[in-house]
Structure 1
Amino acid sequence: MTQEINLKSEISATQTGQRLDQALAELFPDYSRTRIKEWILSDCIKVDGRVVNKPREKVYELQQILVQAQIEEEVVAKAEAIDLNIVFEDEHILVINKQAGLVVHPGAGNADGTLLNALLHHCPEIEHVPRAGIVHRLDKDTTGLMVVAKTVEAQTHLVSALQARDITREYEAIVIGTMTAGGVVDEPISRHPTQRTQMAVHPLGKPSVTHYRVAEKFRAHTRLRLRLESGRTHQIRVHMAHIGHVLVGDPVYGGRPRPPKAASAEFFEVLKGFKRQALHAVRLELAHPFTCEWMTWQAPVPEDMVKLTKALRKDTEANPILY
């Protein structure tokens, strides 16, 4: 089954002198560079009404871009009846509160049982949208709010808003160690040079910025509120590990149980029993892609993190912090 693609845009001043394929990748971020190059070579691109089939051709401000192409449906995953906690839905977008253990997109070792499979069941027409409307991801065991686009137009708006940092994503986390003040981690992130399933701070990585503030201090742990400027894979987990405050329960970056001295057996059991990174996407704010209304959603902290927080408070009350 094929889908007709008709896209229009205009070259901006900042794109003057760029290659055509580079400019198109910026103008139409929903589509891969490989697909864009195929369109150019297949005479699907017009610049000011003229077919251009050379990816390296330079473009200039105010030139009009027209894309007329066909693509095969990108989503090949099957629909599955998986429960979703839907916070908001209209004909353009869907906001969910993702549960722990739900993988967002099929991949190695996760061919099905993912959020994408669930979306195809809940909203079959979403198969016409690249990546089934998924514009940002949460790790498998991170809980909380995600927005999904139900149309190509909505996805284009949301991707542009993410790139322009016009979508606010706030998280709650519990980290190891007592932090005295908030701050900003501005460190580039890339794939780990030897551990390919991990990410790492690296000078040649992509720019990544995480803001954090202290919400509550415990005897040997801290509850944080964090806000992302960028959205790299494992960003919060990597940045917090980089400054010496690994997320509690993080199985990848070293958040193993570290009970403080004189901790009760009960508290140690709660800490040891927390098997995922203590991270929750608690707040999401954005302008609706069609009405432009500013919208805000909040997702209550999940029960396992509430239980952990209560145990941390109890431990701190039994062993007061001395300043």
Structure 2
Amino acid sequence: MSQQVQLEATVAESQLGQRLDQALAELFPDYSRSRIKEWILEERVTVNGQIIAKPKEKVLGGECISINALIEEEARWLPQDIPLNIVYEDDDIIVINKPRDFVVHPGAGNPDGTVLNALLHHYPAIVDVPRAGIVHRLDKDTTGLMVVAKTVPAQTRLVEALQARDITREYEAVAMGTMTAGGTVDANIARHPTKRTHMSVYPMGKPAVTHYRIMEHFRAHTRLRLRLETGRTHQIRVHMAHITHPLLGDPLYGGRPRLPKGASEDFIQVLRGFDRQALHAIMLRLSHPITGELMEWHAPLPDDMVQLVTALRADTEIFKDEMNW
């Protein structure tokens, strides 16, 4: 099923110098900037009767705009009464603290039971926002903070802020091995050439930058605080594996658990029993997409990571006299 869309408007004088896609997003706030950009590239937009296929084209003000496009009806996902841990909510955004084993968006193998289905139940009007307002994702077993837009204008501005790297996202993780110093990984990421579910560092991939600093040393592991500059799929997991310090418990990039020499049976069971990547989105800071107010949220470590860190500390304490720190 396709829906015909026919729109007309006049560019305001106050929009002088704006990009065409930006101006149209303001003129037609019911449609996301990404959708408008697609229409421009598909030659569905005319300016003063002339087709303009360049989203970056500048407007002067006073131009007559016509859009004649088709919208393919998106799959209709079902609302489901799934609890959400809501940290903050207003008329424009929702911030949630996502638990482990919770997929963000329906897809192959996960047709429902996702954050998106839960959002549709919690706030039914979000059905009118593309992707139910989801602007960034966390992996199924990564816990922590996510922001969701409740309106198209909020979504458009959040996406722009992400692209401009104006949203700060910090994570806490436990990596394998003893790291000596913090640093930055600046390495492009692309889909793995043979493993469809994996990502990999690849020179021709998309730019990806991860900053990290050491929070705590353990005997054979390191607790880290990380900050994303970009938001590629599996970015932190791929980057840490790339520098030979994969995340503890990572099923895709971690390899077999590295058991410290002489570890107690109880500690070995803790390491073997931690069955997800030790990664938690602990802090989120952004300017509110509508009011512009600078806002910041924190989500404490989940219980499984608290127990993991406690066990790592106890093991380190036992062997502290043998370590040359």
TM-score per shorter chain, which class?
Answer: 0.7 to 0.9
Hey, what's the Cα distance between the residues in 1 that align with 2:192 and 2:293? 40
State the SS of the aligned residue for 2:256: coil
Rate the CA distance shift 1:2–1:246 in 2: closer, same or farther, 3 A: same
Structure 2 unaligned blocks of 5 or more: 26-30
Instruction: For 1:232-243, list aligned pairs within 5 A.
Output: 232-243=232-243
Structure 1 unaligned blocks of 5 or more: none
Q: Is the 8 A contact 2:80 2:120 kept in 1?
A: yes
Length-normalised TM-score, structure 1: 0.87
Rate the CA distance shift 1:56–1:126 in 2: closer, same or farther, 3 A: closer
Rate the CA distance shift 1:129–1:258 in 2: closer, same or farther, 3 A: same
State the SS of the aligned residue for 1:213: strand
Deviating 4+ runs (over 3 angstroms): 1-13, 27-30, 32-38, 51-75
State the SS of the aligned residue for 2:248: coil
Rate the CA distance shift 1:305–1:58 in 2: closer, same or farther, 3 A: closer
Q: Is the 8 A contact 1:24 1:36 kept in 2?
A: no
Is residue 2:225 matched to residue 1:225?
Answer: yes
Instruction: For 1:86-235, list aligned pairs within 5 A.
Output: 86-235=86-235
Hey, what's the Cα distance between the residues in 1 that align with 2:78 and 2:264? 48
Cα-Cα RMSD: 2.9
Hey, what's the Cα distance between the residues in 2 that align with 1:58 and 1:94? 31
Match of 2:50 among 33, 52, 55: 52
Letter in 2 for 1:147: V
Length-normalised TM-score, structure 2: 0.87
Rate the CA distance shift 1:134–1:263 in 2: closer, same or farther, 3 A: same
Deviation of 1:290 after TM superposition, in Å, equals 1.3
Deviation of 1:36 after TM superposition, in Å, equals 4.6
Residue by residue over 1:190-209, the C-alpha shift from the partner in whole angstroms, topping out at 9 and shown as x without a partner, is 01111111100000011100
Correspondence for 2:314: 314
Letter in 1 for 2:283: R
Aligned length in residues: 311
State the SS of the aligned residue for 1:31: helix
Letter in 1 for 2:51: N
Hey, what's the Cα distance between the residues in 1 that align with 2:195 and 2:74? 30
Letter in 2 for 1:53: I
Hey, what's the Cα distance between the residues in 2 that align with 1:209 and 1:6? 41
Q: Is the 8 A contact 1:247 1:255 kept in 2?
A: no
Among all aligned residue pairs of Structure 1 and Structure 2, give the percentage whose two residues are the same amino acid: 61
Residue by residue over 1:141-173, the C-alpha shift from the partner in whole angstroms, topping out at 9 and shown as x without a partner, is 000000000000000110011111110000000
Rate the CA distance shift 1:234–1:57 in 2: closer, same or farther, 3 A: closer
Rate the CA distance shift 1:65–1:182 in 2: closer, same or farther, 3 A: farther
